[in-house]
Structure 1
Amino acid sequence: MTILHSEGIFTHEICWCSCPGSDATDWHLHLLRERLLPASITKPRTAFTCDVLNHFLINALECKTSAMSFYQKLKRELMRVSHQWRDLKHRKWFGFGHDSEKDPRQGRLALFCPACPQPGINLPPDWRTQYSSDTVMRQYVVDGNFTAQHMKMNKPELDVSLSDGKGYMVSEAPYQAHLQQSTCSSHRAVNAANINKSNLWSTGISAIACARHGCFIPHSVVDLQKGER
């Protein structure tokens, strides 16, 4: 088996458990118990240590190091497994990592503004009588970025979402269905500027944020299609 560590690539001979009742479909679980994330679930032949995944994450966030620069030979497997690693950590942070039967609802893998009024979290039980409505009223703003373009994929069926609609982005299928029914015709100048860009899947991004503190609202960020439509 090929094991990728922060200090290099190592090849080791692995002796899988052959005890009565053991199953080859559980090989990936054996690796996870040893803090090795397999590149595939069925009969894995490559695994990544937690150290190399954390090292890649820190380099990507702090040093803006691309996966190719970090390790060109491992570009494809590293990107795929790092996405799975981040999704596993997100589910663990939000309390969904230890219960496989509990599925996060929309926006449950994202943090709401901690400073905004939230009954049961940062407001007393008698908040309705203790504060005026203006004090606890939430205020939101909407803004968009028309330069954050995303090109179409050659094989979109291979782009599997791990947390569709469970973070800050909205669920893809309901959003696309809403766009098909939308009759909005405003912002024609921006729409006309992007209408010929047929190679783009999205022409920008728009988000709802807390007006007081600037925090994004979970399940409120959308891709713009042909301007602000």
Structure 2
Amino acid sequence: MQIPSAAYWPTTAAEAVAIQNDLRKQVITTDQLGHVSLVAGVDVGFENDGEITRAAVAVLRYPDLVLVDQAIAKTPTRFPYIPGLLSFREIPALLMALEKITKVPDLILCDGQGIAHPRRLGIASHLGILIDVPTIGVGKSLLVGKYETPPDERGGWSPLVHYKETIGAVLRTRKGFNPLFISPGHRVSLETSIAYVLACSPKYRLPETTRMAHHMASNMKDDK
């Protein structure tokens, strides 16, 4: 996959926040995606007490969710751990991993937030803008916003609201399990985000895209 080279990467929190405030203007939360035949999951882990960032991408055929491509990339960690700025810590390695795959996904599900972020630019939105690919944020925990408990049934959801703006959905992918926090990343609407997350989660709480990418990012024996 061809990845545009980043002209500038910040080194301080103030620089990163300024970039977020600028990039948020480019986020598209309406459907601008074509036929989806390949979906990908991306996830990041760390080695050597955080000194090395390890990124994984798993590409699955859609809708049967068969793994068709995968890649791992490792690079020295270039940005400190700062809540709300995690994309600046994780994306450099993700871009390296995406550059290795030969099957280009039509949609990427990210382990993290899309617009459900204080400045509306979580990792899914940030990545989607940088590579111009539709993305969805699939968070396992709440970052910002308030919500009512969704119905305890597969597909049950409630709006995630922050400062009177609906920024995502609190979605149950399995009855009896904790919900996920879904938000548009880039070029995908909230309704479409919910539909694809459910379609990619036929058996488990997490989408198959996330499960496969997480295994690769966490299991150091799986280096390719």
The interval holding the TM-score normalised by the smaller chain is under 0.3
More strand by share: 2
TM-score (norm 1): 0.22
TM-score (norm 2): 0.23
Structure number with higher relative contact order (C-alpha < 8 Å, ≥ 6 residues apart): 2
Larger radius of gyration: 1
More helix by share: 1
